[in-house]
Amino acid sequence: MSAGGGTKAILAALGANLGIAVTKFIAWLLTGSSSMLAEAIHSVADSGNQGLLLLGGKRSTRKATPEHPFGYGRERYIFAFIVSIVLFSIGGLFALYEAWHKIQHPEAIESWKWVPVVVLLIAIGLEGFSFRTAIKESNHTRGKTSWVDYIRRAKAPELPVVLLEDAGALVGLVFALLGVGLTLITGNGIWDGIGTAAIGLLLVVIAGVLAVETKSLLIGEGANPEDVAKLEKAICSGDGIERIIHMKTLYLGPEELLVAAKIAVPPTEQAQEVARHINETEARIREALPIARVIYLEPDIYHPAKATNLTAADTAVAT
């Protein structure tokens, strides 16, 4: 996933959410609707989240240092995880608190009754534009992968985060529109509280999904099976390499993969030939998979008896 595509979707979402937040706060001040307040806080939280994603992307580009020799690529994962916390606490929990308060003390919308409906319809249009941008940018890298698998397997967190946020925002706006609409029709403010509660539960669920998926990236994920196959082919297709004894991969960042492999070389080869074949193998790996930027190849002599006694951890290919 390109950083440019993610940045474009983030900026579109940021612009939409800032505009929506202002109009929602105005609607809340005029009507006192808890759904409007919950949605306004939701938009503020989303705007802050987009700012965090942009900050994480900026910080991840810093050069490696002796203290951090593999660079700062995982900053993007860290800030995406912070986004899930913000969405859960500021968005979800606040909405649930406001819903509880509104259900306990329901109040009808007495003034400026048309304002919430107009604001929500405008917000749906703006969020739809942001969501469309995120879908368009995601399709550049998604290929034939389903949306669920794309969100689960994407190594760059920005677009999946924006997709989930925008989808949640659109559904939340529908909940708010139903709550406000039923309150206006029936004159009973409890529907406003129920709509707010639905928004809160939705945000908590989305935050949980984001936290689980980002946690997996923070712990460390390896290359997918398709990329592993490319690596195996690149390693074994040259001269002087008999086989892969074992190999492990790890994403150091969304666009940087570490490859570590123990490879079998002919027992009669001299050190100079081994070094040349390793250099050629590294070049083939980078050509087959450009994101494989950190490569460690350890030459060894293959012994079938020893190979069968390797532990599962040694023989497993990180996926």
Q: What is the pLDDT of residues 121-158, one digit of tens each?
A: 888 888 888 888 888 888 887 878 888 888 888 888 88
Q: Are 77 and 217 in contact (CB under 8 A)?
A: yes
Which residue has 């308060």 as its token pair? 101
Question: What is the rounded distance in angstroms from the CA atom of residue 275 to the CA atom of residue 35?
Answer: 67
Amino acid at 50: Q
298 in helix, strand or coil? strand
> What angle do helix axes 34-59 and 114-142 make, rounded to 10 degrees?
30
**What distance lies between CA 315 and its chain's CA centroid?**
30
Question: What is the rounded distance in angstroms from the CA atom of residue 169 to the CA atom of residue 172?
Answer: 5
Mean pLDDT by 10 residues, the chain (319 residues): 61 83 84 76 81 86 86 86 81 81 75 77 85 85 83 83 85 86 84 85 87 86 90 90 91 90 88 91 93 92 65 45
74 CB-contact burial (10 Å; exposed 0-12 / middle 13-18 / buried 19+): buried
Kindly give, in sequence order, each residue whose CB lies less than 8 Å from that of residue 128, ignoring residues fewer than 6 positions away: 170
Helices (H), 143-254: 147-153, 158-186, 190-219, 225-236
Q: Are 289 and 220 in contact (CB under 8 A)?
A: no
Report pLDDT for 290.
Answer: 93
**What distance lies between CA 102 and its chain's CA centroid?**
33
What sign for the dihedral angle of Cα 14, 20, 23, 28? negative
Residue of 36, 309, 21, 9 whose CA lies nearest to 166: 9
Kindly give, in sequence order, each residue whose CB lies less than 8 Å from that of residue 106, ignoring residues fewer than 6 positions away: 188, 189, 190, 192, 193
